[in-house]
Chain A
Amino acid sequence: KAGVTQTPRYLIKTRGQQVTLSCSPISGHRSVSWYQQTPGQGLQFLFEYFSETQRNKGNFPGRFSGRQFSNSRSEMNVSTLELGDSALYLCASSLQAGSYNEQFFGPGTRLTVL
Chain B
Amino acid sequence: DQQVKQNSPSLSVQEGRISILNCDYTNSMFDYFLWYKKYPAEGPTFLISISSIKDKNEDGRFTVFLNKSAKHLSLHIVPSQPGDSAVYFCAAQTGANNLFFGTGTRLTVIP
Contacts and interface: CB of A to CB of B under 8 A. Distances in A.
A99 B93 CA distance: 7
Interface of B: 2, 4, 6, 31-32, 36, 41-46, 89, 91, 93-104
Contacts, number: 69
Contacts of B98: 33, 45, 48, 56, 58
Interface of A: 4, 31, 33, 35, 40-45, 48, 55-56, 58, 90, 92, 94, 97-108
Given A4-B43, A105-B44, A41 B97 contact: no
A107 B42 CA distance: 4
A104 B102 CA distance: 17
A54 B99 CA distance: 16
B101 A44 contact: yes
Nearest to A31: B97
User: Quick one: which of B4, B36, B96 has the most chain A CB within 10 A?
Assistant: B96
B97 A43 contact: no
Given A99-B31, A99-B32, A103-B46, A45 B89 contact: no
Contact of B96 (A41, A99, A108): A99
Contact of A99 (B4, B6, B94): B94
A101 B98 CA distance: 10
A42 B32 contact: no
A48 B97 contact: yes
A100 B104 CA distance: 21
A90 B29 CA distance: 25
B97 A103 contact: yes
